[in-house]
């Protein structure tokens, strides 16, 4: 076994994975890194590997890349699941950069694809050079211990088995095994911050010190241990000082600044579902008021933090942002086949045979916002409504979770949560498009009739 194959196998064993055990979904773009990953997965356990590809629609050659991945996966005997998504439109809708929108959508679709095809994990091709670049980028932007942890080898569904492998080693692996790959011309552009770091900063750092990647990896390992310990302490304190409407102001004031910062960041993350645009200066602006008497109000991106006599709480800049939609958001019942439209978008419900569903999947016509349900497992009529306080869902392949937690896990902005359609049958929630689907109505070997639900926000 060659060295890179040994590294890959050792990683899988360290994570408790074994050949013939779990199904793995390999995220493949068509570049040398992900093609090497696909080959390593195929060599490791060809019977339990699926391939995921997302066409972001950002480059003219994107369709050709998708076809290349599909053709190569087919030659290697691997099932491929290809998706197309208008990232530019999604970025514009949420006011995000295209790169941020692409990462968010890719993760959401990876999770959806893994659930749909019963994959236990999704593997990505992040490697040692990516790790080093990420850490330098975070240092230059300003970060604490959490940022210095770098890219984690395993996080939830995601596996990164190549983090100890350099880009050079991956290119050599492709050359030695005759693995074809596509080149992304945008990687040469200095329009992106990461590319500027890669082209101009990393070569200088590498020339100034021996084994830069290893040194940064050691830093990441040390900070990971420290940060994990501090986060454990913060989680325990959270249980003590968190209130239904925020944090206990007096209790927070007694804590060390390190814990104050972590708990305030946790409060903001819990409210908006992500930590984007929350910087050191925002946390410090809140902390400045902790010891001062009287109430306070601190405006930070998309949120307002208010301090009262006893509590620190968070609210949206536009607290009534969803209120204007209430009058248009009466629940709508429907029975397939049907198509209904409203302020929530358009939902189409179709009846298919099992054979028609499988033929559709074979043609690789999976869409980002389509789900299939066993018709016998649902209780009609179906209904679309807005979320309600206390909503819960038995997640596909997982436990029952509060909808609020699913929104946080899916990094759905606070201002959008009240506008998402909740699709139910007569008993329970079936699907929140773009977030998760339920276990109810799972397609099994006994399924004969299928209800196909599709959603469009437009």
Token pair, residue 108, equals 């959401």
- On the CB side of 163, how many CA atoms lie within 13 Å of its CA? 23
- Which residue from 49, 59, 58 is spatially nearest to 86, judged by alpha carbons? 58
Number of domains in the chain: 3
Q: Is residue 233 part of a domain?
A: no
Residues 283 and 419 occupy one common structural domain: no
Quote the pLDDT of residue 1: 43
Residues 171 and 26 occupy one common structural domain: yes
Neighbours of 194 (CB within 10 A): 14
Residues 186 and 88 occupy one common structural domain: yes
Residues 8 and 103 occupy one common structural domain: yes
Among all chains, which residue has been given the structure tokens 């490791």? 44
Quote the pLDDT of residue 368: 55
Separation between Cα atoms, residue 57 and residue 63, nearest integer Å: 8
The answer to whether 428 and 438 have CB atoms below 8 angstroms apart is yes
pLDDT along the chain (458 residues), means of 10: 84 88 93 96 94 88 93 96 87 75 87 92 94 91 85 90 94 95 82 87 91 90 92 94 88 95 91 75 89 83 84 69 44 88 86 85 61 92 84 88 84 76 92 91 90 85
Separation between Cα atoms, residue 159 and residue 82, nearest integer Å: 20
Quote the pLDDT of residue 384: 92
Q: Is residue 284 part of a domain?
A: yes
Residues 150 and 14 occupy one common structural domain: yes
Quote the pLDDT of residue 318: 46
Q: Is residue 280 part of a domain?
A: yes
* Bridge partners (DSSP) listed for residue 297: 306
C-alpha 9 chain-centroid distance? 25
Q: What is the DSSP string of 301-324?
A: TTEEEEE-SSEEEEEESSTTTTGG
* Bridge partners (DSSP) listed for residue 306: 297, 313
Residues 393 and 304 occupy one common structural domain: no
Separation between Cα atoms, residue 280 and residue 301, nearest integer Å: 13
Q: Is residue 238 part of a domain?
A: no
Residues 78 and 10 occupy one common structural domain: yes
Q: Are strands 311-316 and 332-334 parallel, antiparallel or unpaired?
A: unpaired
Q: Is residue 239 part of a domain?
A: no
Helix (H, G, I), strand (E, B), or coil: what is residue 75? helix
Residues 19 and 150 occupy one common structural domain: yes
pTM, two decimal places:
0.64
CATH number of the domain that 348 lies in? 3.50.40.10
Q: Is residue 391 part of a domain?
A: yes
CATH number of the domain that 280 lies in? 3.30.465
CATH number of the domain that 37 lies in? 3.40.50.620
Separation between Cα atoms, residue 409 and residue 405, nearest integer Å: 6
Residues 308 and 344 occupy one common structural domain: no
Range of the domain at 391: 326-456
Quote the pLDDT of residue 429: 94
Packing angle between helix 32-44 and helix 167-177, nearest 10 degrees? 60
Residues 108 and 129 occupy one common structural domain: yes
Residues 360 and 306 occupy one common structural domain: no
Please return the burial class of 196, using the count of CB atoms within 10 Å of its CB with bins 0-12, 13-18 and 19+.
Answer: middle
The answer to whether 115 and 397 have CB atoms below 8 angstroms apart is yes
């Amino acid at each position: 076994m060659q060295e890179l194959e040994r590294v890959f196998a050792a990683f899988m064993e360290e994570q408790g994975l074994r050949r013939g055990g779990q199904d793995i979904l390999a995220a493949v773009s068509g570049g040398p890194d992900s093609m090497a990953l696909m080959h390593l997965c195929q060599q490791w356990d060809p019977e339990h590997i699926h391939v995921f590809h997302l066409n972001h629609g950002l480059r003219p050659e994107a369709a050709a890349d998708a076809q290349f991945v599909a053709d190569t996966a087919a030659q290697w005997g691997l099932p491929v699941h290809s998706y197309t998504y208008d990232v530019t439109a999604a970025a514009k809708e949420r006011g995000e950069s295209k790169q941020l929108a692409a990462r968010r959508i890719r993760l959401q679709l990876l999770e959806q694809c893994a659930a749909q095809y019963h994959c236990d994990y999704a593997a990505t091709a992040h490697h040692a050079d990516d790790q080093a670049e990420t850490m330098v980028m975070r240092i230059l932007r300003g970060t604490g211990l959490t940022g210095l942890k770098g890219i984690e080898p395993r996080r939830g569904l995601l596996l990164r088995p190549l983090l100890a492998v350099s880009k050079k080693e991956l290119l050599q692996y492709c050359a030695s095994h005759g693995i074809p790959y596509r080149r992304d011309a945008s990687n040469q552009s200095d329009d992106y911050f990461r590319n500027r770091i890669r082209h101009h900063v990393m070569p200088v750092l590498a020339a100034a010190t021996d084994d830069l990647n290893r040194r940064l990896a050691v830093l990441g390992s040390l900070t990971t241990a420290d940060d994990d310990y501090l986060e454990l302490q913060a989680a325990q304190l959270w249980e003590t000082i968190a209130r239904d409407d925020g944090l206990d102001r007096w209790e927070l004031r007694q804590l060390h600044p390190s814990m104050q910062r972590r708990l305030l960041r946790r409060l903001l993350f819990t409210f908006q579902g992500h930590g984007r645009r929350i910087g050191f200066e925002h946390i410090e602006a809140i902390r400045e008021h902790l010891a001062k008497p009287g109430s306070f109000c601190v405006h930070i991106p998309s949120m307002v933090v208010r301090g009262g006599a006893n509590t620190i709480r968070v609210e949206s800049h536009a607290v009534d942002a969803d209120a204007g939609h209430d009058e248009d958001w009466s629940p709508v019942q429907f029975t397939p086949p049907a198509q209904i439209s409203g302020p929530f978008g358009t939902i189409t419900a179709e009846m298919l045979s099992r054979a028609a569903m499988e033929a559709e999947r074979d043609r690789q016509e999976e869409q980002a916002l389509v789900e299939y349900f066993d018709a016998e497992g649902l209780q009609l009529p179906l209904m679309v409504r807005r979320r309600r306080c206390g909503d819960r869902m038995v997640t596909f392949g997982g436990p029952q979770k509060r909808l609020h937690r699913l929104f946080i896990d899916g990094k759905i902005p606070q201002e959008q949560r009240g506008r998402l359609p909740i699709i139910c049958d007569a008993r329970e929630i079936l699907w929140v498009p773009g977030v998760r689907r339920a276990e109810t109505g799972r397609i099994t070997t006994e399924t004969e009739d299928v209800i196909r639900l599709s959603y469009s926000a437009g």
